[in-house]
Amino acid sequence: MDEEYDYESLGSNSTVLQNALAGAFAGIGEHCLMYPIDSIKTRMQVVSSTGQLSIPSQSATSLKRNLWRGVYSVIAGAGPAHALHFTTYEYCKELFDKKYVAAGAERDHWSHLLATGAAGACGTFMHDAFMTPFDVIKQRMQLRESTFRTVRECARTVYANEGLKAFYISFPTTLSMSMPFQSVQFATYEYFQSVLNSDNTYNPKTHMMAGGLAGAVAASVTTPLDVVKTLLQTRGTSTDPRIRECSGFFEASRIIGERYGYRGFFRGFRPRILANIPSTAISWSVYEYFKWFLSSDNNDTLAHHI
């Protein structure tokens, strides 16, 4: 008879190191597998001086190769960043649940979702603080006109030309996007888990379905902020003086609104959704698998049957 494992208990039974390893594997898998679509999304969001989207002709082989440019920046940053993300998430979720109960309130479904959303926001701050410089490098290398061959070359050039500020100018905007994105994603994931997996067992199919649905919802509501973030992170490559000197969120928003109208805030919407559905499904599936696999209770059970 197959053993069933309590899904809800995995977070408290697994160690910090196990959550970190599971998060690292999930992050690398999520970002790398969908990287070409993310490159297309970035190129669609870049604001030009004319307000037009120019697509230079490229051979199929050249296009495929260029769509992977910058992936090593993601590999270097995504593992540690997602390890911080999921470790902080698990710790804060358990902490907030305990404090809610300690305050004399009954732990119900909605209080658990609230704790999950808040924990997701805490995890997001830790993730973005580490990942933002790597994301800047990644997007610079994703551009069609990029001539950077290595991550190190790109980082050195950006630092030499624009200083340390260039790596973090989008950080406030990234947080303003990522916190609602991750809060919505984590809370939505938990909700769909409760609907699709009411037995609270390790179930790859429901983890994947819940993850994909959560990613679609979260990506839909945060696309405008993602467009602003892309402008800020790629401003140093623009030939437009106004874009190059863009100082922050509100100025970037004005530029987009003036040149494209409200539709400009949804540039790259389809590839963003297309990338986030499978990427969040992959991320949660990989995370839950490694959390289950690395769980000390699960390993003891497996050892007992061997």
Give the span between the Cα atoms of 154 and 141, in whole angstroms.
Answer: 7
Domain-embedded: residue 288? yes
- Three state DSSP letters for 170-208: CHHHHHHHHHHHHHHHHHHHHHHHHHHCCCCECCHHHHH
Running DSSP on this structure, what letter comes out for residue 49? S
Radius of gyration from C-alpha coordinates of the chain: 20
Assess whether 157 and 286 both reside in one domain. Answer: no
pLDDT of 300 reads 52
Number of structural domains in the chain: 2
Assess whether 77 and 191 both reside in one domain. Answer: no
CATH of the domain at 125: 1.50.40.10
Domain-embedded: residue 22? yes
pLDDT of 190 reads 84
Assess whether 48 and 131 both reside in one domain. Answer: yes
Assess whether 32 and 94 both reside in one domain. Answer: yes
| SS3 (DSSP) at 37 | helix
Domain-embedded: residue 5? no
Give the span between the Cα atoms of 189 and 284, in whole angstroms.
Answer: 9
Assess whether 174 and 157 both reside in one domain. Answer: no
Assess whether 136 and 24 both reside in one domain. Answer: yes
Give the span between the Cα atoms of 67 and 63, in whole angstroms.
Answer: 6
132-to-124, 166, 207, 254 alpha-carbon distances in Å: 11, 10, 27, 23
Assess whether 19 and 66 both reside in one domain. Answer: yes
pLDDT of 42 reads 85
Assess whether 196 and 221 both reside in one domain. Answer: yes
Domain-embedded: residue 3? no
Give the span between the Cα atoms of 59 and 114, in whole angstroms.
Answer: 49
Last residue of a domain, one of 168, 192, 213: 168
Domain-embedded: residue 234? yes
Assess whether 288 and 189 both reside in one domain. Answer: yes
pLDDT of 242 reads 92
Assess whether 175 and 158 both reside in one domain. Answer: no
Task: Give, to the nearest 10 degrees, the angle between helix 71-102 and helix 16-33.
Answer: 140
Running DSSP on this structure, what letter comes out for residue 103? T
pLDDT of 11 reads 47
pLDDT of 156 reads 95
Last residue of a domain, one of 168, 200, 221: 168
* Contact assessment for residue 295 and residue 10, using Cβ atoms and an 8 Å cutoff: yes
pLDDT of 53 reads 46
pTM: 0.66
Domain-embedded: residue 300? no
Last residue of a domain, one of 118, 148, 168: 168
Assess whether 238 and 279 both reside in one domain. Answer: yes
Q: Which of 79, 80, 81, 90 is nearest to 16 (CA)?
A: 90
Domain-embedded: residue 42? yes
Domain-embedded: residue 116? yes
pLDDT of 37 reads 84
Domain assignment of residue 134, given as a range:
15-168
Assess whether 26 and 127 both reside in one domain. Answer: yes
pLDDT in tens, the chain (306 residues): 344 434 343 445 567 777 788 888 887 877 777 788 888 888 888 876 555 544 444 545 555 667 888 888 888 888 888 888 888 988 888 888 777 666 555 556 677 777 888 888 888 899 999 999 999 999 899 888 788 889 999 999 999 999 999 999 889 888 888 888 878 888 889 889 888 888 878 888 999 999 999 999 999 988 999 999 999 988 888 888 999 989 889 999 999 999 999 999 999 899 899 888 988 898 888 888 887 887 655 555 444 433
pLDDT of 63 reads 58
